Chains A and B, each alone.
Chain A
Amino acid sequence: MNNAHHEIIIAGMGGQGVMVIGQLLAHAAVLEDKNVVWFPAYGPETRGGTADCTVIISTSEIGSPVSSSPDTLIALNQLLLDRFAPTVKREGLILVNTSLAAPPRDRSDCKIVEIPANDVANKVGNSKAANMVMLGAYVELVKPVRLDSIKASMTEVLPERYHHLIPVNCLALERGAELVS
């Protein structure tokens, strides 16, 4: 995979932390002096609606903030996996949260990585950290940024009221990375 340019779509339900892991990726890219664009799409609902964000990380200047066909899809649930799996570029990467979704059967050209993210998150002690498990696995697999940069971005990206959860989030990130290494 070209390591100078990454186009990622992260998708799930509102409340699953889709936007947050996209922002962590974006912030980590800034820490590493890379160009980055993060762009969200969601309905008016705070929870229960669908949510997705596009992150483009590049060593050169970024034109379109919109991706025709992402290199990677990180899907946190079945509905959004089904919606976005067809858009992933040929021989791209699809990370599936298998706690909540069955891997796609019609994208045999892609590398499909199954992560039981909610189960792993439950084991580290916080079911809400499933998003971090997925992010840890993605960063370990593709290395668009370093895992350290993601960790260093937590205080900046997470609202202060969630800062006490940073240790468990970091643990979930590491577990995700270990699953695929």
Chain B
Amino acid sequence: MANKKLIKGNVAICYGALAAGCDAFFGYPITPQNEIPEKMSELMPQHGRVFLQAESEVAAINMVYGAAAAGKRAMTSSSSPGISLKMEGLSYIAACELPCVVVNVQRGGPGLGNTLPGQADYFQAVKGGGHGDYRLLTIAPWSVQECYEFMPLAFDLADRYRNPVMVLMDAIIGQMLEPVDLHGNFEIREYPKPWATNGAKGRARNVINSLWIDNTVMEDLNNRLQAKYEKARRHEVRFWNYQTADAELVLVAYGSTARICRTVVDLARDEGLPVGLLRLISLYPFPEREIEALARQGSRFLAVEMSAGQMVEDVRLAVNGISEVDFYGRTGGSVPTPIEILENVRNTLSGPRVASAQARREV
């Protein structure tokens, strides 16, 4: 471990982006993600790549749009209010089927909120966020090591699906220091980009556009997008089971909250309580089949988030009434402690079961 570097999650994002062959970074400052543009302003020019501090978040996402259209690996990063400003651009980028990576280091909200941790941008990340029928493929690291390793994954998914990818973090994951092994052996695949608008000399002109007046053309585009998301739902679901095999209660969480819940599982097991954790790695696509399987096995669920209850809605959809789904959340920058969640675990386990075992078998 002596070869490991002690760095923040935000800084690990930069090394990961560099390893992934990111050509261009466009951003605008906002806490708690400022270490990303700060480090990128140093790393990118050192490696002959583009760093640009834009005049606003809106400008930054549109610069990403342009760089991606030219076939370059481009990214931006921001935090909650800044990510809201990027939503129009993301809808355009998704409609144009361009690959790019967006990092959201979530803070307390809504509104300008505060610089403390939050997970209340879940809906915005996994349901599209901007206008129209599109999705962001969304992954959530829970350690500084994963901040590093998920960036090559994010760029690969973006290129493979020709779709924007969101790396969803929070102020804990972005700001914490952990030892990291930066000698990742990534297989960085190059994807041919015959659609890129990178000079038409000697070939037919490429057009990248999201304005299609003809409804049949627009509907074809929508069908193509939906087929792509269906493919992602089959191949890109990622999760991690911890002690769920015999769990009467399964905690469902992602990011820093999943880390906290992992400790809760250990504390609960010490008390003899049959508790496990389903840690979500991909938030879109959502691990709905895994959750349904756990519900059939007889598990009930406690969704834990730093929000007023967002991810829990997807858990309920996956469970589809065949088991009980409870929720515990903190908001506004408050972080749940392991003991606080453990008390909820005890209460939930002693609460009545509404859905019957019969229902689980029949559905």
Contacts and interface: CB of A to CB of B under 8 A. Distances in A.
Given A44-B31, A64-B260, A65-B256, A36 B337 contact: no
Given A64-B259, A64-B263, A66-B260, A26 B337 contact: no
Given A30-B4, A30-B6, A64 B262 contact: yes
A97 to B, nearest CB: 24
A156 B259 CA distance: 28
B115 interface: yes
Interface of A: 23, 26-27, 30-31, 33-41, 44, 63-69, 156
> 10 closest Cβ contacts across the A-B interface?
A63-B263, A64-B263, A68-B339, A63-B262, A68-B337, A38-B177, A64-B260, A33-B1, A39-B176, A30-B179
A66 B266 contact: no
Contacts of A38: 6, 176-178
Given A39-B172, A63-B262, A66-B336, 17 more contacts: A30-B179, A34-B1, A36-B178, A37-B176, A37-B177, A38-B178, A40-B175, A41-B116, A44-B115, A63-B260, A63-B263, A63-B266, A64-B260, A64-B264, A65-B256, A68-B337, A69-B339
Contacts of A30: 1-2, 4, 6, 179
Interface of B: 1-2, 4, 6, 31, 115-116, 172, 175-179, 256, 259-260, 262-264, 266, 335-340
B94 to A, nearest CB: 33
B2 A31 contact: yes
Nearest to A39: B176
Chain A interface secondary structure, helix, strand, loop or mixed? mixed
B337 A67 contact: yes
Contact of B176 (A31, A44, A65, A156): A65
A36 B6 CA distance: 9
